[in-house]
Each structure stands twice: as C-alpha cells, then as structure tokens.
A and B are shown apart, each in its own frame.
Chain A
Amino acid sequence: MIGADAIVKCLEEEGVEYVFGYPGVAICPFYNSILDSDIKTILIRTEQNAAHAASGLARVSGKVGVCAVTSGPGATNVITGIATAFADSIPLVCITGQVNSELIGSDVFQEADITGAVESFVKYSYLVKDAKEIPRIFKEAFYIANSGRKGPVLIDVPIDIQRAKIKEFHYPETVNLRTYKPTIKGHAVQIKKVIGELSKAKRPIICAGGGVLLSDAQHILRSFVEEHRIPVVSTMMGIGVMPTHHPMYYGMVGNNGKPYANRAMNESDLLIMVGARVADRAISQPDLITENKVLVHIDVDPAEIGKNVGASIPLVGDAKHIFEDLLEEKMVCEHEEWITTLDQYRETMGKKRNPNPDYVDPAEFIRFLSEQMQDDAVYVADVGQNQIWSCSYHIVKDGRFLTTGGMGTMGYSIPAAMGAKLACPDRQVVAVCGDGSFQMSMMELATMRQFHVPVKIIVLKNTYLGMVREFQHYNYQDNYSVVDLSGSPDLEKLAMAYDMKFMRLLTMDGVEEAIHSFLAEDESVLMECVIDPMDLV
C-alpha cells in the first residue's frame, strides 16, 4: 500500500461518495489509486468550482464535501472556493497535491505554499510529512471540518508522500486533539436566564442565521416557536429555517431584507440571535439591536459572541442542543399583542414594484417558479441582483435555499447546484443566476453533460452587472463604469453547443406554462429570462 491508497481508504472510511477535482502531476498518485475505489470522481472545469460543488453537496447532505486538486495553480485556483466555504461555514476537506518534499521551498515548477496562502481562510491545514500520518490527519480533518463551527480544512500532500510505501493501515476510531474541544451543550445557567427573559418579554423575536441549518436545528426551532408563539426573522444564510409562509416567520432582515423584518427586530424587547454573525449586510447598525432590549446571542463559536455586538446573555453551544434544552423548560409566554402588531406590519409594509410589462419581471417570475417547485426542492441563488430577488421572492416550503451570503462569490450557483443534485438526485435542483454570474461558471455545463447531473438553470439576463449598475445608479449618478455585458454569447447557441435543452422567456406571457415544462424535463435545461436592464431590486 502506498500513501495515495491510504488517502483513498480514509475517504472510504468517511463514507465519501464524490470527489470533485482536477488532476495534475502532483496529485496523480491519488487519482490513480481512486480508480480502484467505488468513490466517484467528477472532473470539474476549473478548480474554484470544485470547492463550490463540494459546498453544495455538503450543505444538502450534512456530510463533508471533498475536493482534490493539483499543486501550484491548481491549489491557488481553489482558494476562492475555500474562502467562500470559510465565510459560509461549510465543511470541506480539500486535498492538494504538492511537489516532492525535498523540493519544497526551491520554487520548482507548479510549487505554491498553499498551506501558507490559505491560512486565513481555513479552519485548519496540514502539510503531510510522513505517509504513516495519513490516517490520523484525515480522521482529524473530517472531524474538525464538520464539528463546532464548521469550515474547510486543507491537506497538502507532497507527491513522494503519496508514493511512499506504508506497511499497515489503521484508521483511528477517535480523534485526540488537546487544543480543539468545541462546546456543544449550552450552559444550564444561561439557558435558565433565556427562559426567564422570554417569560418576561413583551416583544420577543428570534433572528435565525445559517448556523441553525448547519446544526440541522430548523425542526426543533420550529417546534419551539410554535409551542411558545415566538416570531422569527432570518438572515440571508438563515432563509429556509422557517418555511416562507409560516405564520411565525417575518422575513429576512438587513439592507436587502423586508422592511417589516427590520422593524420587528428593532422594536423587539428581547432579541435572540442564533447562528448569525451580526455582519454588516444583516445588521447595518449593531447599536440598534442592543438599544432598549435584551440581546441573547447563541453561537457555537465563542468568538462570534461580542465580536460585532455585545450580548446581554451570551450562550455558547450548538443550536440543536440548545433548542432541545429550551423546549424542555416550562414557561409561559404572553405577547399576542406583539404578534398582532407584526402581522399588521407584514401586511402593510410590503414593497411595491412597478414592473416593466415589456420584460420578464424577476420578482413575479421567481414567485411562479417557486410555487411550482416541489416542496423539498433545492433553490440555489447566485450573487447579484438575482440573489436579492431570490431572497425576496422565493417561497421556501420544505426545501433548501442555498446561496453564499457570507462571501458573495459570483459563479457559485451552478457548481453548488451540481453538488446538491449529486447529493440528492431525487430532488429538484434549480440554479438561478444573472448573465454575469452565469458566465463565471458556464464552463461547468460540460461537467453537467459529462456526468449527467440534470441541474435546471435560469439566467436572468439584463446584459449588465446589475448589482454594480444599481450601485452606480444610486451613488455615481448613473455613470456606468465597466458594467456593460454586451458581447455575451447567445445562450441558445451555447445550449446547443452543449447539447442542452433551451428555453427563452421575453415577457410574462405564458410564464406558468413555460415554468411547468421547464421543471417537467428530466434533463438539464437552460432557461433565459430577459429582464429590464434598468430594473432595480
């Protein structure tokens, strides 16, 4: 057995089904060994997307996403994907090939100090120096990636280590890390304090972030808020914690969120933030959420508590465990008046749009689309105006809404949707992007065809980098700079080149039928919706 065989065996032990990647000389021993395994390999068309695809798979399956790329440029290309996973707290293990151990530091062909380069974007990284260490390192890496606050772990394996002979393989059953012991269970005293505050509160509200979904706590949180009738708002990463039409859900907060969600949060007297970073897009003025209210901050990462806002009651632990404990406590909450007020806000503070009838209205289109999507469908939004429209108008039933709310990396949706589709082939997976973000990942149409990953793609086409154009509209008096996307390919011809089905919508005429046949297809479909270039979110 050689080191590369040991790596493959580790992946098998971890139950890995797919490896996304791109080979090169320095990772060839690994890609040779994996031929003897049942693990499927997906040749992605650029390394960044390997990490995004692994992220999509991880988010839907709850397992660690795995990608494997070569040294030098292969490794540096994957950094944006790793940084995206880090900002969104997605568990990944990224294996990079490295030049021969003895050559490290001599600037040879395709050498890059990747562990150094990714230091601020990974939860941890390893440079394997002895093939015997492989089982321990992989066991630790998978554990670190998918526990506590989840995130990417990188393992750099020099080619001579992959080739080195090892006598025996023993996969450890447990990890022993003296420096890493995440707090899972919330402190009993703090839990009692939260219950005490909830019984006193007249205007309580929960703000749910992506951490709730990462700990798979959405069901227990729903039970808790239904039991005690506590209103919920969410951050962008927390969309899907509550079904959109749940009576206790009052929308997404933030500068792109619902006005009534922000108002509800600001007027509350008890705010429970759970699994949210309190970053600028969700909470533009941290002072407002501490003024005249008690702030409870629940997070598995103690460093998040107090980083952007000071909490009155810090509560470190995993959201699922904490809500299980909270649900067990007896308490009486009385705040029907508050719910009546919020219902009134929700009804009267909706945003009015004036859609141009000559084009497809993205808001109405997304509403129709999500109405027709299956209950458990996965909707992947890209970055740009399409992301904001998706957040605002997509109706989550019992499915998932994936987007990169943390990093905001354009081109995320198509590879992430592929990963999600591979993780759950029986569910509908739809990627919604703009014509800018589509062109950042359109090379992956080939991957979809090659490996028969029937992802549905919607391109909201406005021939502009719409989000930046909108920013220039408001802040630079319509002086548009470097946002014109003319020169983009004819998507119909492009779809033909990839032997994909294509649909085009020019106006809202026949939109429901079009969506119906789009979703009914078994294969991948590329649908272009021509929207008003001057439309604003």
Chain B
Amino acid sequence: MKKIYSVLVENRSGVLCKVSGLFSRRSFNIDSLAVGETDDPAVSCMTIVSSGDERTIEQIEKQLNKKLDVIKVKTFDEIASISRELMLIKVKYNRNNRRDIMETCEIMKAEIVDMSKHYMIIQICDVPEKTNLLITMLQSVSVVEVARTGTLALQKCKDME
C-alpha cells in the first residue's frame, strides 16, 4: 500500500537527518522525498511517499509524531491528493528520432526547455505515474540524465471540508 505523508517540521539543521534516520532505523521504505520551506520560514514541509502493510503505515505516522521536531503529520492516499512531480530529462537526439521525441512530448504535455546540436532537455510536471510513463516512452531514445523532485502533494480541497 502506498501512502503520502505530508510532514511539517521545524526548519532547523539536522531535522532531515532525524526524519530519514527514523525510516532507516525502523526499516521503513522511502519511495520518494521532497523537502522545502513553507509560507512560514520557520517551518519546512517534507513530502514522503512510502509503502508497506497497514501496520507499517500506521507505525510510520506514529513514529513521525514522536519526533520532537515534527509539528504535524498528515497522511493520505494518492487518490485523496493532488500530487505532482517535476522531472528533467536530458536526451541525445538525431535527425531520425527528433520528430518522434517532439510528438511524444506533445502527447505527454512535456516541454523542451533546452537544446543543442545533439542534446535536448525535456521538462514534465505531472503525477508520478505520468512522469514514469514518459521515461518508458523515451526508452528508445538515449536518455543521458534524469533529475526529478520526488512527489509533492497536498490533500484535495474537498477532503478538507
């Protein structure tokens, strides 16, 4: 079972280490992790995607809550959230596959954001499922490098009410 944890933490040095240390110490899995400041500079938001059985999922939330630098933990499914991932893919292209790549980008709503004679960088911002799909689609082309943010997620507005 996949779960998204939106964890508000004190924006202090060492906190990321404490949170990630908790996952390794209790052999919980991290599928993806994204960290950034919130509107309050004293607070950071960590979006952690993890998977496990029901007991593990519950333990992760409880153990996170035990950490003194953790202000709040929200747990939700992918369905109950709006989730996005930003990914940059650098590919090597040639005359023969250039059109194909552009078409794929168009279908996938990806954008070409940089280009040289042989290389281009494609940007996609979508749900993790789609970003993964784009990599699969580009498998036939030679992918040089991939950088991705990890999942960012917020609970859907209607679930808040």
> Which residues of A come within 8 Å of B, CB atoms?
115-116, 119-120, 123-124, 127, 144, 177-180, 301-303, 306-307, 310
User: A310–B55 Cα gap in the complex (Å)?
Assistant: 9
Q: Are A179 and B69 in contact (CB under 8 A)?
A: yes
User: A301–B59 Cα gap in the complex (Å)?
Assistant: 12
User: A435 → chain B, closest Cβ, in Å?
Assistant: 34
The reply to whether the CB of B158 lies closer than 8 angstroms to some CB of chain A is: no
Q: Contacts of B55 on A, CB cut-off 8 Å?
A: 306-307, 310
Majority SS at the chain B contact face: helix
Indicate whether A306 sits within 8 Å of B68 (C-beta atoms), given known contacts A115-B14, A116-B17, A119-B17. Answer: no
User: A310–B18 Cα gap in the complex (Å)?
Assistant: 27
Indicate whether A119 sits within 8 Å of B65 (C-beta atoms), given known contacts A306-B55, A306-B58. Answer: no
Indicate whether A120 sits within 8 Å of B68 (C-beta atoms), given known contacts A302-B62, A303-B59, A306-B58. Answer: no
Q: Contacts of A144 on B, CB cut-off 8 Å?
A: 68
Tell me which of A119, A301, A303, A306 contacts B18 (CB under 8 A): A119
Q: Are B62 and A119 in contact (CB under 8 A)?
A: no
User: A307–B58 Cα gap in the complex (Å)?
Assistant: 9
Indicate whether A124 sits within 8 Å of B62 (C-beta atoms), given known contacts A115-B14, A119-B18. Answer: no
Indicate whether A179 sits within 8 Å of B68 (C-beta atoms), given known contacts A115-B14, A306-B55, A310-B55. Answer: yes
Indicate whether A302 sits within 8 Å of B21 (C-beta atoms), given known contacts A178-B71, A310-B55. Answer: no
Q: Are A179 and B10 in contact (CB under 8 A)?
A: yes
User: A180–B14 Cα gap in the complex (Å)?
Assistant: 18
Q: Contacts of B14 on A, CB cut-off 8 Å?
A: 115-116, 127
B2-37 with Cβ < 8 A to chain A: 10, 14, 17-18, 21-22, 25
Q: Contacts of A301 on B, CB cut-off 8 Å?
A: 66
The reply to whether the CB of B94 lies closer than 8 angstroms to some CB of chain A is: no
Tell me which of A178, A179, A301 has the highest count of chain B C-beta atoms within 10 A of its own C-beta.
A179
Which residue in chain B gives the minimum CB-CB distance to A115?
B14
Q: Contacts of B71 on A, CB cut-off 8 Å?
A: 178-179
Which residue in chain B gives the minimum CB-CB distance to A310?
B55
User: A310–B54 Cα gap in the complex (Å)?
Assistant: 11
Which residue in chain A gives the minimum CB-CB distance to B60?
A303
Tell me which of B14, B63, B68 has the highest count of chain A C-beta atoms within 10 A of its own C-beta.
B68
Sampled A-B contacts (14; CB under 8 Å): A116-B14, A116-B17, A120-B21, A120-B22, A124-B68, A127-B14, A179-B10, A179-B68, A179-B69, A179-B71, A303-B63, A306-B59, A307-B55, A307-B59
Which residue in chain B gives the minimum CB-CB distance to A177?
B68
Q: Are B21 and A123 in contact (CB under 8 A)?
A: no
Q: Are B65 and A303 in contact (CB under 8 A)?
A: yes
Q: Are A303 and B68 in contact (CB under 8 A)?
A: no
Q: Contacts of B153 on A, CB cut-off 8 Å?
A: none
How extensive is the interface on chain B, given as a class? 10 to 19
The reply to whether the CB of B87 lies closer than 8 angstroms to some CB of chain A is: no
User: B67 → chain A, closest Cβ, in Å?
Assistant: 8
- Given A179-B69, A179-B70, A306-B58, 5 more A-B residue pairs with CB atoms under 8 Å apart are A115-B14, A119-B21, A124-B68, A179-B67, A306-B62
Contact with A along B32-58 (1 / 0, CB 8 A): 000000000000000000000001001
User: A123–B65 Cα gap in the complex (Å)?
Assistant: 12
User: A119–B14 Cα gap in the complex (Å)?
Assistant: 10
User: A123 → chain B, closest Cβ, in Å?
Assistant: 7
Q: Contacts of B70 on A, CB cut-off 8 Å?
A: 179
User: A499–B20 Cα gap in the complex (Å)?
Assistant: 52
User: B50 → chain A, closest Cβ, in Å?
Assistant: 16
User: A301–B62 Cα gap in the complex (Å)?
Assistant: 9
B63-81 with Cβ < 8 A to chain A: 63, 65-71
Which residue in chain A gives the minimum CB-CB distance to B22?
A120
Q: Are B25 and A120 in contact (CB under 8 A)?
A: yes
Q: Contacts of B10 on A, CB cut-off 8 Å?
A: 179
User: A472–B71 Cα gap in the complex (Å)?
Assistant: 48
Q: Contacts of B67 on A, CB cut-off 8 Å?
A: 179
User: A120–B28 Cα gap in the complex (Å)?
Assistant: 14
Q: Contacts of A120 on B, CB cut-off 8 Å?
A: 21-22, 25
Q: Are A123 and B59 in contact (CB under 8 A)?
A: no
Q: Contacts of B68 on A, CB cut-off 8 Å?
A: 123-124, 144, 177, 179-180
Q: Contacts of A303 on B, CB cut-off 8 Å?
A: 59, 62-63, 65-66
Which residue in chain B gives the minimum CB-CB distance to A306?
B58
User: A155 → chain B, closest Cβ, in Å?
Assistant: 13
Q: Are A302 and B65 in contact (CB under 8 A)?
A: yes
User: A116–B63 Cα gap in the complex (Å)?
Assistant: 18
Q: Which 6 A-B pairs have the closest CB atoms?
A: A303-B62, A120-B25, A124-B68, A179-B71, A180-B68, A119-B21
Q: Contacts of A119 on B, CB cut-off 8 Å?
A: 17-18, 21
